[in-house]
A = this chain, B = another copy of it.
Amino acid sequence: MVVVDQVASKGYPEHVSLSEAVKLLEETFSAKNCETSELAIQGALGRTLASDVVSRRNVPHYTASAVDGYSLQSTDTAGATNATPVYLETGEFSWVNTGMPIVDGDAVIMVEDTSVVEDASGLKLKITRSLTQGENVRAVGEDVMNGQILATEGDLVTPALVSLFLCAGIGTVSVRARPRAIFIPTGDEIVDRDHWLANRDVPAGVVVNSNADFAAATFAGWGYSLEVHPILPDDPSLIRETVAKAVREYDLVLVSAGSAKGKRDHSADIFSSLGRMLFRYVRMKPGRPVMAAVVDGKPVVCTPGFPMSCAVSLWSIVYPLLKTMSGEPLSPDDIEEAIGAKGKIDASFLLQYSSSAGVADWVRVKLAEVGGDLRCWPLSAGASVLWALAESDGIALLPESTLECAKGSKVQIMMTRSVDFSKRLLFQGSDDPAIQLLISLIRKRGMDFAIRAVGSMGGLAALGRDEAHLAAAHLLDPVDGTYNDSYIEQFSRGRNWSRRLVFYRSQGLIVAAGNPKNVTGFADLATGSVVFENRQPGAGTRVLLDYMLKENGLASSSVAGYERISITHMEAANKVASGVADATLGIKAAADALGLDFIPVAREPYELVFGEAFFDHPAADALIASLESAEWRTEVLAMGGYEWP
């Protein structure tokens, strides 16, 4: 037998580190784009100066008062003190505001050191301090002198510089030209925005060209513009021809890879045939398949097709490349800048996190502060790529050397949004879609709410470790059939927790519409012909399953799929809706939302449990008010399967 799959040595670096990739780009393309533009100062905002800017004026251009007060001859004030004031007659002093020219006198007395008094002979100025020549006088050019260097090549034009340039008589400045960039989407399966939005029933496998909008929006945020080419099919010769033409017309060409079978490698072949490959594959996750080449001295970058991979390659490869081409020095903060981060923050992992060896790991995290400790947890990164990025508060870029991050270990996070942690409650506990609806309602009340679905026991355990403000549970005690009491007693260890019965909800078996496998009860799960989707250990719904199996005298090993885990009701129900599983146990609201059949099993109380950290929290009132709002109750009832106590 002969192994057929083989990768030939390509003659260029593969699987480079992120810093090696950036270094290759920096070495190849620095100062490749030396064009400059002369722009009016107000249009130069945010651009980089191409030369030093020298003042053409003195600022001020006249002798001016540095204070509000009276200009006068300093010699007239000799000996003036509080005890021995001097009085000046009208004509010996003139009022002058700060910044106004001094037309008579050689000094200015601050208004605070004077008072205007009246006696028989009229108004007089009473002076209680003696002045020297030039006191409180701004010399010509005191702020800026004619000929002075105001800003240096490479400086960013800020609002302050625009204002300074104008005052110094500078109307235009020379700035570095911005690279002209184009984004070429490729792939038979890609459709454009308008087609996608207009057609709800696009075929399986078809994907919208969302990366083009992401890239254009990202470039805009950086202050660069990006042209988007029409989508190309997976036709190597057409792609080759388009890239070759783009290289002649643009300074930077981005090719968004198609991902059709077997066509994936075309970009590398095309790049190699047009020019010289610089690197292929970067040791990071996601974003690994990024590659770059130099064609006619210009950079051509292939960005991966998956949205998060595309985002990562723009931030970590394309942004430093643009800076290099614009003649700006690279800095350790480039990724933070590229992401548009609102600063960096240190937090500790709320759970153990395992990073892959030898690969830089872009971890999207959410954060919350409980009892003064700021903690973060990664969002499910694999499948829920888009959602995780939009939902995250920030990104931790774990270096290649990171392997295991123990629970509690510190990590630095680039914040992608501003969060006022003092206003954010952290909920950990049993998943319920009704709880998700609270987020908006709490935020409308000026507060914030973060949810981690960790199951009923996970929530109580987190509360016991002071890692949540509140939890939720629906845990059946198999001994006496009560809910929650014994579990709360166990986890609270006598601490002062508070409970609130929020609603009853209907739990049952969820099966495909029409119940094709004819499931009528738990016994049907043990036949081997029904694939069950289970929930994670500690979930109240799993406790209920185990109880029901025991009641029915069934072994868990007899249930096909018992070991399969979904984290939420919707996720589990969706496995059924997709045909990936045949049945799950969950709430009626999930079955209703997906049009699935529902066989009721139990009516269970869903309780919120509040820890000590809850009651002093600024958002506590907002949560209670939201729970009691008619708006929430109406929305919850509309989902189906809920009853108020």
Contact = CB atoms under 8 A, between A and B. Distances in A.
Contacts of A383: 66, 138, 142-143
B159 A329 contact: no
Contacts of A446: 329
A561 to B, nearest CB: 7
A384 interface: yes
Contacts of A556: none
Given A59-B386, A61-B204, A152-B439, A133 B217 contact: no
Contacts of A213: 41-42, 159, 162-163, 166
A588 B417 CA distance: 55
A386 B167 contact: yes
A603 B386 CA distance: 70
A139 B578 CA distance: 6
A5 B150 contact: no
B386 A118 contact: no
A266 to B, nearest CB: 13
Contacts of A169: 196-197, 200
A235 B154 CA distance: 44
B100 A418 contact: no
Nearest to A189: B100
Contact of A418 (B96, B193, B331): B331
Interface string A124-135: 000000001110
Contacts of A5: 115-116
A100 B160 contact: no
Size bin of chain A's contact surface: 35 or more
A575 B138 CA distance: 9
A373 to B, nearest CB: 19
Contact of A220 (B3, B45, B205): B45
A207 interface: yes
A390 B151 contact: yes
A149 B418 contact: no
A337 to B, nearest CB: 7
A153 B101 contact: no
Contact of A162 (B52, B140, B217, B343): B217
Nearest to A134: B580
A148 B570 CA distance: 10
Interface string A573-592: 01101111100000000000
Interface string A182-208: 000000010001001100101111011
Interface in A390-446: 390, 416-418, 420, 423, 436-437, 439-440, 443-444, 446
A211 B164 CA distance: 10
Interface string A163-174: 110110101000
Interface in A52-67: 52, 56-57, 59, 61-64, 66
A125 to B, nearest CB: 11
Contacts of A117: 1-4
Contacts of A261: 95-97, 100
A79 interface: no
Contact of A63 (B4, B123, B217, B580): B580
A423 B330 CA distance: 12
B98 A389 contact: no
Contact of A574 (B98, B115, B142): B142
B260 A97 contact: yes
B259 A163 contact: no
A577 B561 CA distance: 91
Given A205-B62, A383-B142, A436 B149 contact: yes
A553 interface: no
A197 B42 CA distance: 13
Interface in A446-477: 446
Nearest to A437: B149
A615 interface: no
Contacts of A207: 99
A110 interface: no
B205 A564 contact: no
Contacts of A63: 204, 578-580
A510 to B, nearest CB: 14
Contacts of A260: 97, 100
A622 to B, nearest CB: 12
Contact of A217 (B45, B333, B578): B45
Contacts of A390: 150-151, 158, 160-161, 164
A186 to B, nearest CB: 14
A216 interface: yes
A174 B17 CA distance: 42
A501 B455 CA distance: 74
A214 B95 contact: no
A306 interface: yes
Nearest to A197: B171
A514 interface: no
A551 interface: no
Contacts of A2: 117-118
Sorted nearest first, the 8 A-B pairs with minimum C-beta distance are: A62-B204, A134-B580, A139-B578, A159-B217, A101-B204, A163-B214, A101-B205, A171-B197
9 contacts: A98-B306, A158-B217, A159-B214, A159-B311, A163-B217, A166-B208, A167-B208, A343-B343, A343-B344
Given A63-B204, A100-B259, A139-B578, 5 more contacts: A66-B382, A95-B262, A143-B384, A166-B210, A337-B418
